[in-house]
């Protein structure tokens, strides 16, 4: 019996391109000099082949309408996997200066990467964790420092952030497109004929 040659038959590739376009706040951002960090999170069978697992944008100021902050940060990476379990997600952490000019958390968001052949623009809601007691909340109000998550990547796992108290304000606008290779060879069908 002949063994399969090469490892090209045991996994598929997913190439994702796009950009973090902007952040939108209905009544203006609560702070200035905003920047955003992103982290790519995927299941244990996924491996990053090219691109960066995390990145950070430049510091940006609100536009003339005082509600939109434009980043135009490109996102581009390729991953391979043996199965679709743990489909890649992108977790965003937004930071900015408060009225004391201290850098603090301005919100978190996450999105799933699209399926192959799809291009989509997502308006992901931003949320900020809330303090669990009134004294911490009062100190936060006085200092202008919001609570931060030690590891924002837990947002990609629903079982780890269950019961997290938070409030939502604003949204991130992200556009992504994905292309896959090797899916049909593994018996995977996204319901499209792009592979």
pLDDT above 70 for 9: no
Closest Cα to residue 87, out of 95, 99, 79? Answer: 79
pLDDT value, residue 129: 79
Encode pLDDT of 94-151 as tens digits. 998 877 777 778 889 999 999 877 788 999 999 887 767 776 666 665 666 666 767 7
Closest Cα to residue 47, out of 85, 9, 82, 10? Answer: 82
Q: Which pair of structure tokens corresponds to residue 192?
A: 């499209």
Rounded Cα–Cα distance for residues 75 and 38 (Å): 9
Encode pLDDT of 33-92 as tens digits. 899 999 999 999 999 999 999 999 999 988 777 899 999 999 999 999 998 999 999 999
Longest dimension (CA), the chain: 73
User: Beta strands 54-56 and 119-129: pairing type?
Assistant: unpaired
Tell me the domains of the chain and their CATH numbers: 12-185 (2.60.40.150)
Q: Classify residue 138 by burial, with Cβ atoms within 10 Å: 0-12, 13-18, 19+.
A: exposed
Return the SS3 of 95: strand
């Amino acid at each position: 019996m002949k063994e399969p040659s090469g490892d090209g038959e045991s996994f598929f590739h997913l190439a994702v391109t796009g950009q973090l376009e902007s952040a939108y706040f209905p009544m203006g951002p609560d702070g200035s000099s905003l920047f955003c960090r992103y982290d790519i999170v995927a299941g244990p069978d996924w491996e990053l082949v090219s691109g960066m697992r995390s990145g950070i944008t430049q510091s940006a100021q609100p536009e003339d309408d005082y509600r939109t902050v434009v980043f135009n940060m490109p996102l581009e990476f390729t991953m391979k996997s043996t199965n679709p379990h743990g489909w890649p997600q992108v977790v965003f952490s937004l930071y900015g200066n408060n009225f004391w000019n201290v850098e603090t958390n301005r919100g978190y968001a996450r999105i799933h990467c699209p399926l192959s052949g799809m291009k989509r623009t997502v308006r992901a809601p931003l949320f900020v964790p809330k303090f669990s007691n009134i004294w911490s909340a009062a100190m936060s109000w006085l200092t202008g420092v919001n609570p931060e998550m030690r590891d924002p990547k837990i947002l990609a796992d629903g079982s780890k952030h269950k019961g997290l108290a938070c409030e939502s304000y604003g949204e991130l606008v992200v556009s992504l497109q994905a292309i896959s290779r090797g899916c049909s060879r593994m018996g995977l069908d996204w319901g499209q004929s792009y592979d």
